[in-house]
Amino acid sequence: MQLPTLSPDPYILILTGAGLLIALVAWLPLALQRLPLSLPIVCIGIGAAIFSLPAVTLRPLPLAYPDITERFTEFVVIIALMGAGLKLDRPFSWAKWSVTWRLLAITMPLGILAITAIGGWMLGLSWVAALLLAASLAPTDPVLASDVQVGPPKSGEEDEVRFGLTSEAGLNDGFAFPFVHLAIALGLTATSGAPWAKEWILYNVVWEIGAGVAGGWLIGQLFGWLTFHVPVHTKLSKTGDGLIAISATFVSYGLTELIHCYGFLAVFVTALTLRRSHRDHEFNRQMHDITEQVERLAMMVLLLLFGGALVSGLLRPLHWIDVAAALAILLVVRPIGGLIALAGFKASMSEKMTLAFFGIRGVGSFYYLAYGLNHMEMSGGERLWAIVGLVALFSILLHGLTVTPVMRQLDRQQGRDPDADDAAPPPGLKGPAST
């Protein structure tokens, strides 16, 4: 009897691969929680191995799929922003969030200035390209920064370092967008000669930030009322279904983008407002957990594709000077900008150095660069993608290998025992939520 020839149906292969991916999402954080190794590093390695196979002919380079790259990275970021906002226990106030304002108002603008200078003078890019590069790399990433963020709601994992890095990652994605639009405006002006300053200030800065904050707050108020405060038999918290957080994410982003304001900012404000509606309710944990699961799955898919892009030639356009610039951005620009912002802030030097060092770059940078290149004509896009990809790779490796020992040492200094039997595993994408 002759056996049938093996010719697997692509649909069956996709189902099998999806099942294996979901298993890795559930299992890998448990396997990695005590190791100086992060989930993103493992995902990139797996992606690189898969796309190196001769049978795999797809080459997931971002410039080959510009619209997919923009939309998929956008999706991953907004899910991460909802999760980041939901897990912040600290009530919003100007005084209690002082570390956040320092990092946003000082560190990020200094980073944009420094990276623009590096791009223009050190790398020889046009000033428009240098500004787009700076705007893409200035914000920290809410997706890959989860290892240094606070734990799930009411888990007690909200020291000043974790709070500062979480709130910074939640807000600076929205506040970096005006600089992406500034690069686009300058690029369009260079070809058309049209004035740009008035429209940029009034529309891209004042309107889009203001309307984003206001829209996010209104939608958060609505979802908070529906979830916690309508009559007892119809309020959404009675369902026990945390998927309402995904609904709030999509509604907040969609409605605010319809009125042309910053949806990233709106989603984070929606999450903060929704959490504020009933800060101590257990349903906050359910909303956070489902959001984190979706985020982790989407993040793994994206990093598998990033690993595939690396072995498909993403870094091929790099010059040696680009490598030096990438290291300077991570090891000089962010740490110095962070320490300047934290001068006079009441914290130990180890806490300040941790806040300054862990300026993780990643998915948010991918989105901003894709958005900028998709909205204006610019030569040299391959090199910009190579530089951003290299910075993200260095960041994932450097911060991923150091986050476990650094944060465990920080816990010990603050009187927590990370090796205790009842100690919660690292939050976010490093380990599963504690029970």
Q: Estimate to the nearest angstrom the gap between the alpha carbon of 15 and the chain centroid.
A: 28
Query: So what's the pLDDT on residue 32?
Result: 63
Query: So what's the pLDDT on residue 194?
Result: 74
Better-predicted residue by pLDDT, 60 or 428: 60
> What span, in angstroms and rounded, lies between the C-alpha atoms of 150 and 170?
12
Share above pLDDT 90 across residues of the chain, in percent, rounded to a whole number: 43
Query: So what's the pLDDT on residue 279?
Result: 77
Q: How confident is the model at residue 400 (pLDDT cuts 50, 70, 90)?
A: confident
Checking if the pLDDT of 2 tops 80, the result is no
Q: How confident is the model at residue 6 (pLDDT cuts 50, 70, 90)?
A: low
> What span, in angstroms and rounded, lies between the C-alpha atoms of 272 and 216?
9
- For tokens 């994410």, name the residue: 249
Helical segments of 138-262, H only: 160-192, 197-199, 208-224, 244-258
Better-predicted residue by pLDDT, 14 or 264: 264
With contact defined as beta carbons under 8 Å apart, do 318 and 326 qualify?
no
CA distances from 189 to 184, 240, 294 (A): 8, 52, 40
Kindly report, residue by residue over 37-52, the tens digit of the pLDDT.
677 888 898 889 889 9
DSSP letters of 347-410?
S-HHHHHHHHH----SHHHHHHHHHHHHTS--S-HHHHHHHHHHHHHHHHHHHHHHHHHHHHHH
Kindly report, residue by residue over 49-65, the tens digit of the pLDDT.
889 988 788 899 999 99
Query: So what's the pLDDT on residue 173?
Result: 80
> What span, in angstroms and rounded, lies between the C-alpha atoms of 150 and 160?
9
Checking if the pLDDT of 237 tops 70, the result is no
Residue 233 token pair: 């038999």
> What span, in angstroms and rounded, lies between the C-alpha atoms of 388 and 90?
33
Walk me through the domains of the chain, giving residue ranges and CATH numbers.
41-413 (1.20.1530.20)
Helix axes 244-258, 208-224, angle to 10 degrees: 150
Checking if the pLDDT of 26 tops 80, the result is no
Checking if the pLDDT of 424 tops 90, the result is no
Q: How confident is the model at residue 264 (pLDDT cuts 50, 70, 90)?
A: very high
